[in-house]
Chain A
Amino acid sequence: MDASDRRQRASEEAASWWVRIGAGELERTEREEFVDWLRESPVHVAEMLRIAKVNDALDQFQGWLQVNTDGPDDEENVVALPELPKSESRPALPRTAHKRYWTGLIAAGAALLVLGPIGLFLGYRAHVIETDRGERREVALTDGSVVEVDPESRLRLAFEEHTRRIFLERGRALFKVAKDPQRPFLVEADGATVRAVGTAFGVEHRKQDIVVTVVEGKVAVSGKETSLPGPASAGVTTLVPAAQSPQDLLLIAGEQVRMPLSTSTQPLGKESVRKVDSERELAWARGQLVFDDKTVAEAVAEFNHYNRIQLRVADAAIGMRTVSGVFDASDPESFIAFLQTDTTVHVTRSGSEMILQ
């Protein structure tokens, strides 16, 4: 099914929903079905909006009196539309099992920059996703997985027949993996590999280390030596199933591992795994900054990573103060307002810079 077939199918489904909705209140199960359908693809959303426009055009149309409605009442030209396909019979995009969880986690708020819609949605095979300072992106991949990319990150995608592979070259990203046992989802960072089948986890490629945090399901983490030799392999060299290799480290939901860059060739010990509040640890993925006794200078550096407006601390005493709290990454002003609650901070603006003193 190519893109235009898919779109046509989507508009038929949208038309069907429009009519069902127009006929009266939908049952709860129907509304659930409608929500799931909308959340399956931006194309569905677009077609629903277009069908609304078609209806509006018909409501506004001035020439109805001249429209000839005579003619045979047979339905020869009216081909019956198939019933709305059930979700399991639709091959288009696998539905992720954990959307519901995610909608909660990624609660509204973050300002996202959005890529061109359709091409992106259908077209990522081997590609690079790169974000600038202040730019966050949510990218829907061809397999139904979704990646939330933090600012100043770079990912290279290599989706092959038997593997879905992503190289996190720098920065960090949160992966919500669509389940596909036949095609493991691999994220590589500095030689370390995180392997997942259908789960959600964050990977951060930082200056000193690689941090993997699991929100849902489980993943296997391996150091450099177990990197996969070829695309035909479904797992490690010896085709051991996920997380069975001795060097592998199995992480479950709520666990995190930090691997120093220099030693990521060494076997990972179970002792390097710690229990974390994954929602808090991955706050960055929904555009929040969590500070726990951070200095203002450190906090400012974090804000600058997310915004075009750059903060600069011109008074060392302010820079050394510590702050704790949760902030909207795209809103440095509220951070400044917070600072001003117990000290006088003078803010001078010059161009895209805000100087605190």
Chain B
Amino acid sequence: MTHPDPKTRLTDWFRQWRSPLRKFLKGKRAVGASDLDDVAQEVFLRLMRYERTELVENPQAYLYKMASNVAAEWAIRSPRAKPHDSHWLTGLTSDDDPERSFSQRQVEEEVRRAIETLAPRQRRMLKLHHFEGLEYGEIAQRLSATPRSVKRVLTKSYASLRQKLDAQLLGDITDGRE
């Protein structure tokens, strides 16, 4: 992956880890909250078993690929291997299940509430990024801010949303959306 053209390289860089990330988030076996720590533990062990030099090539790609693999493996393994996974397997109901869509509405509500606890500046930047799809640099231009402060504000926002969103919800958020 040593393209001379930096632009192509950047596209590759994103493509190479965004796709494993999507797989982790949207896989048929999207990981529930109670399993996330277990998955992380197993991913951690796998990371330890890899050569550091190999991981360094594209760490995010490895991270999300391992996470989606672990989730998939646990889903197909016998219940013995992962005794408490039955509950989230049964939670994987079809999309038009009424209970499911109700919980999606709850998710929306929860996310809205969490966003509203943030400062106006944080909300502005999040909206530009996640709704209008602007990159950090573009946000900086739009708001006449420095890229550095955009990154700082977004970092702070994510950490704070992570604390505010209900733990169970964070696991369920993407289940059944695809």
Contacts and interface: CB of A to CB of B under 8 A. Distances in A.
B155 A16 contact: yes
A114 B42 contact: yes
A249 B171 CA distance: 53
A62 to B, nearest CB: 6
In the complex, which of the residues B10, B51, B56, B151 has the most CB atoms of chain A within 10 Å of its own CB atom? B56
B112 A38 contact: no
A50 B162 contact: yes
Contacts of B177: 60
Interface string A160-189: 000000000000000000000000000000
A55 B46 CA distance: 24
Given A23-B136, A59-B130, A8 B163 contact: yes
Contact of B174 (A19, A36, A60): A60
Contacts, number: 220
Contacts of A66: 112
A8 B159 CA distance: 8
B120 interface: yes
Interface string B109-125: 00110011011111110
B25 interface: yes
Nearest to B118: A77
Q: How many A residues touch the partner, as a band?
A: 35 or more
Interface string B16-28: 0100010011000
Contact of A69 (B21, B45, B123, B174): B123
Interface in B140-178: 143, 147, 151-159, 161-163, 165, 170-171, 173-174, 177
B63 interface: yes
The SS class assigned to the B binding surface is helix
A118 B37 contact: yes
Interface in B50-100: 50-52, 55-60, 63-64, 67, 81
A54 B162 contact: yes
Contact of A12 (B24, B120, B124, B155): B155
Interface in B22-49: 24-25, 31, 36-49
A73 B120 contact: yes
Interface string A93-121: 00000011011101110001111111001
28 contacts: A11-B162, A14-B162, A19-B154, A31-B56, A35-B47, A35-B55, A38-B47, A39-B48, A45-B40, A47-B162, A49-B40, A50-B36, A51-B159, A51-B162, A54-B165, A55-B130, A57-B165, A58-B126, A58-B130, A58-B161, A63-B111, A69-B120, A78-B156, A103-B49, A106-B48, A107-B49, A114-B45, A116-B38
Interface of A: 8, 11-12, 14-16, 18-25, 28, 31-32, 34-36, 38-39, 41-43, 45-81, 99-100, 102-104, 106-108, 112-118, 121, 138, 146
Given A46-B40, A49-B67, A81-B152, 16 more contacts: A8-B163, A15-B155, A15-B159, A18-B155, A20-B151, A25-B10, A31-B59, A35-B56, A39-B44, A51-B158, A60-B177, A67-B115, A68-B120, A70-B120, A75-B121, A78-B153
